[in-house]
Amino acid sequence: MEADLKAALLTAYARLLRPLVQILLRNGISYSEFADTAKRVFVNTAATHIGKGKAEVSAAQIAIQTGLSQRETQEILDGRSQPAVNTNLARIAALLTAWHSDDRVVGPYGLPLELQPREPGCMDFETLVREYCPGADHGPLLSQLIAIGVVRQTDDGWLRVLTRTYLPDVDAPDSVERIGYAVERLVETVDFNRQQQDPEQRLFERTVTADFGLKEEDLPALEGFVRQRGQQLLEEIDNWVTLRDKPDLERGDRAVQTGLGIYHFVDGWKN
């Protein structure tokens, strides 16, 4: 039974890796670079898993579980690994959501208001950044928003937001980070649900499939329908979440990172 489970897991992971490896090859990432990254993930994940409830985790313990040598494991634990690339993806998404849902910056009919970059005593762009993107420097962030085309500065100096949704260019680091977040969260949801015996405790995760396929000429109509209805649903949920009181950590509130993702798949399309 254990051998069957391992074989099934490896088959599932091979299926999961196929589109990810396509992305790596398309961007010039070699197998050795991928293997180094996988090695770091194995070590760091094992360290977190073994370390729960323990004061210290040794390289030997991690090496036994991962099958790596103790020397390789220790090198990774010592921090001799490639640093992560920092992007503003999460900050931009949070800022655009706030600009379209916070009552202080939304006008009649739900339209986002134009803001001054800095206007003491009023709700301005700097205040919006301070509240929704803690730790961010509003100046460089504004420059990036203008450069990527989601905010425009008018001739008289006001800032106008142009979109609620940020879809990074394919070659931008933000786009790569978006892939990581999307796949990671989907897999974590599926894995969480597999471990829950009680269906009521499982997170919402559903798929709609055309049982007999769809005529190719009908695909554009489906794409338009999904974009319209999917965006509408996401905005409704986004507004609901935004209107909740923010967790007060000093008061003892526990903050939970949560959300919803929707994706449209077409098997083998334009590979």
Report the distance separating Cα 78 and Cα 74, nearest Å: 6
CB atoms within 10 A of CB 193: 14
pLDDT at 129 over 90: yes
Question: Taking the model in full, what pTM does it have?
Answer: 0.57
What are 181's two structure tokens? 């977040």
Q: How far is Cα 62 from Cα 49, in angstroms, rounded to an integer?
A: 10
The domain ranges of the chain are 2-77, 89-161, 210-271
Query: What Rg do the C-alpha atoms of the chain give, in angstroms?
Result: 23
89-161 fold: Arc Repressor Mutant, subunit A (1.10.10)
Position 225 confidence tier, pLDDT thresholds 50, 70, 90: very high
3-state SS, residue 251: helix
pLDDT-based confidence at residue 80 (cuts at 50, 70, 90): low
pLDDT, tens only, 163-220: 888 776 655 666 667 778 788 888 899 889 988 999 999 999 999 998 889 999 999 9
Are the beta carbons of 124 and 106 closer than 8 angstroms? no
